[in-house]
């Protein structure tokens, strides 16, 4: 089978890209050994933002996205996202994926940072699963889509720095190359580098590292969003239970140990933007989420599946005071791309959370992530098929797969996860970041593992951004600096540099 593209990852952005490419050409999807359900998409709860209300329009959605992005959103990307939303969601609305009103239109919820109710959600609350199954069933039946199980371990490049495909290590047997005119990294984010995370344990930025080693630029790695409401438990990395923002949209309160609502002084109260709610919770001695005052029937009707997950942890969603803390959740930083997913390496694309289109700025608006995967996945697929490149030739400079590291990834993460929680968490300081850099340097000297080096890139970007903006908050520099309205870019050969944003 001659393939036009190989897509690494099978979350919402990877599946959407594959389906779009398969309209015109053959495509391979590289699925991790753990299976396609291990993506962040499959865990996503809340819903998808779309301006469908009688008094809501895409420009309102645009304005909310830009406002929450704290001056770093790329206007063209936001315009594409918000205007494309109604059309791209129509097939899913017609397929009955989302909860509907008796009038025949989707039920619209309200979430943090939004000026209008515009969140569509699946019945039961597990929207990511519903969309993933919808896309996967289409992809599974498509004869133009080839499924490959394995872990991408290195991009194949030539003397000109062009990407020709990817090396894949299968569950058993030796690594093999997948050649393609276009290679798409849909590998998700890197929030599982932190020990306390809402992400699956596999979201550790390996796609970012592959791109970086191949010469692609990375941007804004310091911007990691911490979800305010994660059920507070001592569980292994990757097993935390997120309590969706939609619960607060329904009316849930955030309480301190004395049962006082500590968000009352904010104009938007519990529905303030995520970065502000996360910092408020982080600074409490303990915090709780409560739905006791909300009709239990309404809670169970809208969040029945989430209620079952909460019950499995020993709590009752509608009546218990649920202990919550913050957790690393979403990465605004990523592989730098244009609005068609093209990276700075010819033949290499990135999409979804792996990509940095600039659509989220310094802080993502709630329920824009699944939408991004759909909109830009379709655009990447369109660009690949409508701007074909010549078939790759065997002129690669790395036809031998890389050797396996002495230290396993999980061992490296055990050494590093709590370090990031403590020193690169919700609130940072020059001192904490400096300590992180020193410890990471020691770890690299002891064992030169790629995870330590990638974490070093994140820490360096956080150190250089000597301001507070969006998800990056420094207690020693709590104000936003107009001189730092731009992006910190990192390249394997050229190091770190700052690029001012001039078109916002």
Of 237, 274, 336, 428, the active-site residue reads 274
Does the pLDDT of residue 281 top 50, yes or no? yes
CB-based contact 64:365 (threshold 8 Å): yes
Q: What is the pLDDT of residues 241-274, one digit of tens each?
A: 999 888 998 999 999 999 999 999 998 899 888 8
**Could you tell me the domains of the chain?**
5-223+330-386 (3.50.50.60), 228-327 (3.90.700.10), 409-490 (1.20.58.100)
Q: What is the pLDDT of residues 115-161, one digit of tens each?
A: 999 999 998 878 999 999 999 999 999 999 999 999 999 999 998 89
Nearest to 7 by CA among 226, 150, 186: 186
Q: What is the pLDDT of residue 308?
A: 93
Task: For residue 495, count CB atoms less than 10 angstroms from its CB and return exposed for 0-12, middle for 13-18, buried for 19 or more.
Answer: exposed
pTM of the prediction? 0.94
Q: Name the pLDDT band for 454 (thresholds 50, 70, 90).
A: very high
| 151: annotated active-site residue | no
Does the pLDDT of residue 503 top 80, yes or no? no
Region of 331 please: left (phi>0), alpha (psi -120 to 50) or beta.
beta
* CB within 8 Å of 103: residues ≥ 6 apart: none
- How many whole angstroms separate alpha carbon 472 and alpha carbon 462? 8
Q: Give the side-chain half-sphere CA count within 13 A for 308.
A: 7
Does the pLDDT of residue 393 top 80, yes or no? no
Q: Name the pLDDT band for 391 (thresholds 50, 70, 90).
A: low
- How many whole angstroms separate alpha carbon 5 and alpha carbon 388? 10
Q: What is the mean pLDDT of residues 408-419?
A: 92
Nearest to 385 by CA among 377, 373, 393: 377
Buried b vs exposed e over 249-274: b needs ≥16 C-beta within 10 Å? bbbbbbbeeeeeebbeeeeebbbbbb
Output 112 or 357, whichever has higher pLDDT. 357
Question: What is the DSSP secondary-structure string of 319-372?
Answer: TSEEEEEEEEEEES-EEE--TT-B-SSTTEEE-GGGEE-SSSTTSPPTT-HHHH
Q: What is the mean pLDDT of residues 23-28?
A: 96
- How many whole angstroms separate alpha carbon 241 and alpha carbon 305? 13
* CB within 8 Å of 379: residues ≥ 6 apart: 80, 339, 340, 341
Q: What is the pLDDT of residue 184?
A: 98
- How many whole angstroms separate alpha carbon 317 and alpha carbon 304? 9
446 pairs with which residues across the strands? none
Does the pLDDT of residue 73 top 90, yes or no? yes
Strands 348-350 and 182-185: parallel
Q: What is the pLDDT of residue 395?
A: 66
Stretch among 237-251, 265-279, 395-409 having the lowest mean pLDDT: 395-409
Q: What is the pLDDT of residue 504?
A: 38
Question: What is the DSSP secondary-structure string of 241-253?
Answer: -B--THHHHTT-E
**Percentages helix, strand, coil for the chain, rounded to the nearest 5?**
35, 20, 45
- How many whole angstroms separate alpha carbon 282 and alpha carbon 231? 13
CB-based contact 279:254 (threshold 8 Å): no
* CB within 8 Å of 57: residues ≥ 6 apart: 51
What does the mean pLDDT of the chain come to?
Answer: 93
- How many whole angstroms separate alpha carbon 100 and alpha carbon 120? 9
């Amino acid at each position: 089978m001659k393939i036009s593209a190989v897509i690494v990852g099978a979350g919402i952005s990877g599946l959407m890209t594959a389906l779009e490419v398969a309209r015109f050409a053959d495509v391979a999807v590289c699925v991790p050994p753990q299976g396609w359900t291990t993506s962040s998409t499959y865990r996503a709860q809340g819903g998808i933002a779309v301006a469908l209300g009688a008094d809501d329009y895409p420009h309102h959605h645009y304005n909310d996205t830009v406002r929450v992005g704290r001056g770093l959103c790329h206007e063209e990307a936001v315009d594409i996202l918000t205007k494309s939303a109604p059309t791209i969601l129509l097939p899913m609305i017609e397929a009955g994926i989302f909860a509907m009103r008796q009038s025949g239109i989707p039920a619209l919820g309200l979430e943090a940072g939004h000026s209008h109710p515009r969140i569509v959600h699946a019945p039961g609350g597990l929207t990511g699963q519903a969309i993933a199954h919808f896309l996967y069933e289409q992809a599974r039946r498509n004869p133009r889509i080839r499924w490959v199980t394995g872990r991408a371990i290195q991009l194949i490049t030539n003397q000109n720095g062009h990407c020709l495909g990817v090396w894949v290590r299968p569950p058993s047997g030796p690594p093999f190359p997948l050649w393609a005119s276009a290679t798409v990294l849909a590998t998700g984010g890197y929030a599982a580098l932190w020990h306390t995370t809402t992400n699956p344990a596999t979201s550790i930025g390996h796609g970012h590292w592959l791109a970086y080693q191949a010469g692609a630029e990375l941007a804004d790695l310091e911007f990691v969003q911490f979800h305010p409401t994660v059920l507070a438990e001592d569980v292994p990395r990757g097993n935390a239970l997120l309590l969706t923002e939609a619960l607060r949209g329904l009316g849930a309160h955030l309480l301190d140990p004395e049962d006082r609502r500590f968000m009352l002084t904010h104009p938007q109260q519990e529905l303030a933007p995520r970065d502000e709610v996360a910092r408020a919770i982080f600074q409490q001695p303990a915090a709780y989420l409560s739905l006791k005052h909300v009709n239990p029937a309404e809670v169970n009707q809208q969040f029945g599946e989430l209620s079952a997950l909460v019950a499995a942890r020993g709590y009752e969603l509608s009546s218990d005071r649920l202990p919550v803390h913050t957790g690393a959740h979403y990465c605004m930083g990523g592989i730098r791309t244009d609005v068609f997913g093209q990276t700075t390496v010819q033949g290499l694309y990135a999409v979804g959370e792996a990509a940095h289109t600039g659509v989220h700025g310094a802080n993502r608006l709630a329920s824009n992530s699944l939408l991004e995967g759909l909109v830009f996945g379709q655009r990447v697929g369109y660009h690949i098929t409508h701007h074909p490149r010549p078939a790759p030739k065997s002129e690669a400079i790395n036809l031998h797969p890389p050797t396996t590291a002495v230290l396993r990834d999980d061992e490296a993460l055990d050494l590093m996860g709590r370090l990031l929680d403590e020193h690169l968490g919700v609130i940072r300081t020059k001192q904490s970041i400096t300590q992180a850099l020193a410890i990471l340097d020691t770890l690299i000297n002891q064992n030169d593992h790629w995870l330590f080096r990638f974490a070093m890139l994140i820490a360096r970007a956080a150190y250089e951004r000597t301001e507070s903006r969006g998800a990056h908050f420094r207690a020693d520099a709590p104000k936003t600096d107009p001189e730092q309205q731009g992006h910190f870019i990192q390249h394997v050969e050229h190091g770190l540099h700052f690029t001012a944003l001039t078109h916002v």
